[in-house]
Amino acid sequence: MKNRSQLVIAFSVILIAVFGLYILQSQRYRDTYLPRTEVAGVDVGGKTEAQANQLLQKHFKQQKFTLVEGKKQLLSFTGKTAGVNPDFSQKLAQLKQQQNRWAWPLHLLTGTSTAQASKSLNIDQSTFDQFYKQALHKLNQGRTASKNAAVIKQNGSYTISKAVNGNQFSAKKLKATIQQGLATSSGQITVKAAYTKPTVTADSATLKTAVSKLEKIHNEKITYTINGYKVVVPKATIYSWTTFANGKVSLDEAKVKAYITSLNTKYATINKSRQFKSTKRGTVTVPAGIYGWSINTASETTTLMAKVLEGKDFTRTPTIQGTGYSTDKSDIGNTYVEVDKTNQHMWYYKDGKLVLDTDVVTGKPGQDTPSGVDYIWSKQRNATLKGTNDDGSAYASPVSYWMPVDYTGVGIHDASWQPKFGGDWYKTHGSHGCVNTPTAAVAKLYAAVSAGTPVIIF
């Protein structure tokens, strides 16, 4: 009986001690986390909120991360290096409110693990961007970039190249992978999925359509009719113009313009000397004047490119600027005024027939009438010509007929003050550069000639 009483007393003492310990521990967990409590993989059991937050901050700043490609470790760094700035205060407060401190014995067996740290990891963007820029540069050294399938020109034809799967990292994908890994990984961040991938493959309908269109353009027959000449644009030239970029068939504007410029250089007449069959001196070389035409290269380039891209054969005359364009390979033609300074004589031919010839007086030595292929660009009655005499005095000479032929003030007009014309009179009594003509003759010329008529002075 006595032994039984002692046993009961001992059991009661143990029970009281255990209960006391339970109460004591329960009171302790009022301010700390229950045992085996993990936050983002870090054990904070027995820690206060402040202690747990400090522990988590230290852990994530010092945590080592490694970028892994298959079995290969590419780069290791700490959270602090990547700008990790953890703050678990809100999560820890929520966890503290949710825990039941009286259930700590059960917690010893089961434990608690919270969600990963993604919502509690702040990233200092400036620090991260600096780290990431250096990491991307280092990681992509020696790697092969992926390439989209593309239309390529080869041996006078068009083919589609295959896409290339490279192992170079995509700046956007790698950045997202690392940022996600900082918050969700235990240290290893797999980056193989962050490669740049081709976005266009060889079976692309866009590429196939482009090849078809390019071939159609390449096979166009493009013909120019220029000043009586027929010029067929070589297929090789058309081929050199064609381009395909950014999903669009186009033409190389610089090359098209260069071709138009070459046509202009070959066929245009402006700023070029002429071989002219004169009345008395045979064939003479006459320097360029204001008469002549050229291709408007800017306008023609734009128009030609638009026509070529239509993919149809066509013939066209280029956009012309200037004067004298014709279709018989001669811009002077057979209607013109001829002024022979050596013979001091002028002729006017219309449709190849002589209409007028007369002696004239051209510029005196030192004020010679400029040689050149010019044209009558205006006709005026009763004009007053003004200028400066040799002695520096001004003159104003009224004339009945005035036909300017260049842009320096030179023209054909009557000269009632001249007592005679032709011969050597011009050497001592020549004009200031104009072609002085007898009144009766210039009146006849004025009535017969049209503005735009070439004037060949030599």
Q: Which residue has 């013979």 as its token pair?
A: 343
Kindly list the distances between the CA atom of residue 409 and the CA atoms of 281, 342, 404, 433, in Å, as whole numbers in the listed order. 27, 21, 7, 8
From the candidates 59, 413, 429, 432, give the one annotated as an active-site residue.
413
| Contact status, residue 324 vs residue 293, Cβ threshold 8 Å | yes
413 is catalytic: yes
Q: Is 434 a catalytic residue?
A: yes
Selected catalytic residue, list 59, 345, 432, 434? 434
Tokens representing residue 447 in the block? 């009535």
Write down how long the chain is.
Answer: 458
Integer angstrom CA distances of residue 304 from 74, 217, 261, 295, 307: 55, 12, 13, 12, 5
Q: Which pairing describes strands 314-316 and 222-226: parallel, antiparallel, or unpaired?
A: parallel
What are the residues whose beta carbons fall under 8 Å from the beta carbon of 317, sequence distance 6 or more? Answer: 224, 225, 226
CB atoms within 10 A of CB 25: 15
Q: How far apart are CA 310 and CA 300, in angstroms?
A: 16
Give, in order, the Cα–Cα distances in Å from 285 to each of 238, 239, 359.
37, 40, 22
Query: Of 415, 332, 321, 346, which is closest to residue 375 (Cα–Cα)?
Result: 332
DSSP structure string for 95-157: HHHH--GGGHHHHHHH-EE---STTTEEE-HHHHHHHHHHHHHHHTTTPPPPB--EEEEETTE
Task: Provide the CA 204 distance to its chain's centre, in angstroms.
Answer: 25
Query: Quick one: CA torsion of 193, 196, 200, 201, rounded to 10 degrees?
Result: -60
Q: Is 355 left (phi over 0), alpha (psi -120 to 50) or beta?
A: alpha
Look up residue 64 and give its two tokens.
């080592």
The helix/strand/coil state of 186 is: coil
Cβ pair 315, 283 in contact under 8 A: no
Judge whether 453 and 335 are in contact, CB under 8 Å. yes
The amino acid sitting at 137 is H
The residues that are catalytic are 413, 434
